[in-house]
Amino acid sequence: MRAGYVFSEVLTGLRRNITMTIAMILTTAISLGLLGGGLIVARLTQATQVLYGDKVEVIIYLTTDQSSKDPDCRDAVCQAIQTALQKNAEVELSTYQTQADAFNEYKTRFAGQPEMLAIVQQDALPASFHVKLQDPQRFKVIAQEFTGLPGVEQVNDQSDFLNKLFGLLNSVRNIAIIVALIQAFAALLLISNMVQIAAYTRRTETAIMRLVGASRWRTQLPFMIEAVVAGVIGAVLSIGLLIVAKVTFVDKLLGSVINSGVLAPLSAADLVAVSPWLLLTGAGLAAVSAYVTLRLYVRI
């Protein structure tokens, strides 16, 4: 079988059913673009979890009275809390923050907002212990031990914020993948229709080829290659869509959020890691759909 002849047949078939081919390419591109978006969001979620792994703290806020009467953590109540933290196996590091330190941090955070600075005085901010855990997910162990102790107002951590953030990212990922699967089903139907139409328009020449001894595989191969070529073109377009989305949406609209450390950055390496999967999925989806259609619905 001459490769040049096969590929000339493929090009002829793609041109002959140009509208169906374009529709299949665009549907495949959208489907794979959404799938790639879901995979990228999954990578960003994992990277963001790693990013926050070293930042998550449990904060033990002391009462206002305790903070005021013992600013340097020297009396028995504050020392008892500090000793308990040092002996706790779940604690990697604990740091005491005085009222003065808390007020300085507050002034730094709201330096450009005079109205926020005017409403808070130093004695309104409690002293606190900032605790880094061996395992940030073990927050409840610390909360149970220190909540209600003398001198402790409340125990707080960033788990609520992180759970909401990761929940949002996971929801975006799941929605993108669900829509991608629906689009993939539509692409399968289009591929099947394209193959059936292509086989029908060339039924005379394929019948002649069978009469002169061509195998069933030989007559089916050009149709499968047509579908695979269209699938690969769709995958390439989906990669282009992801690049455009990164440049126009992620880098510009989310740049400040990423630079502030709220989200992990989307790098070119993420796109490179996802791209081969999109190419393989596009080619595989087209090949399997074309093969099944030819075996079940097309007699050539």
24 and 189 in contact (C-beta within 8 Å)? no
Q: Phi-psi bin for 4: left (phi > 0), alpha (psi -120 to 50), beta?
A: alpha
Q: How far apart are CA 84 and CA 139, in angstroms?
A: 15
Check residues 214 and 78 and name the one with the higher pLDDT. Answer: 78
| Mean pLDDT taken over the chain | 78
Domain boundaries, the chain: 3-52+162-296, 56-157
Q: How far apart are CA 230 and CA 21, in angstroms?
A: 7
224 and 285 in contact (C-beta within 8 Å)? no
CATH of domain 56-157: 3.30.70.3040
Q: How far apart are CA 203 and CA 124, in angstroms?
A: 85
Taking only the tens place, the pLDDT of each residue in 74-114 is: 889 999 999 999 888 888 888 899 888 888 887 887 777 77
Contacts 24+ apart (CB under 8 A), 269-274: 270/40, 270/43, 270/44, 271/40, 271/239, 271/242, 271/243, 271/246, 273/43, 274/36, 274/39, 274/40, 274/43, 274/242
pTM: predicted TM-score of the whole model, two decimal places: 0.62
CA nearest to 127, candidates 88, 86, 77, 167? 77
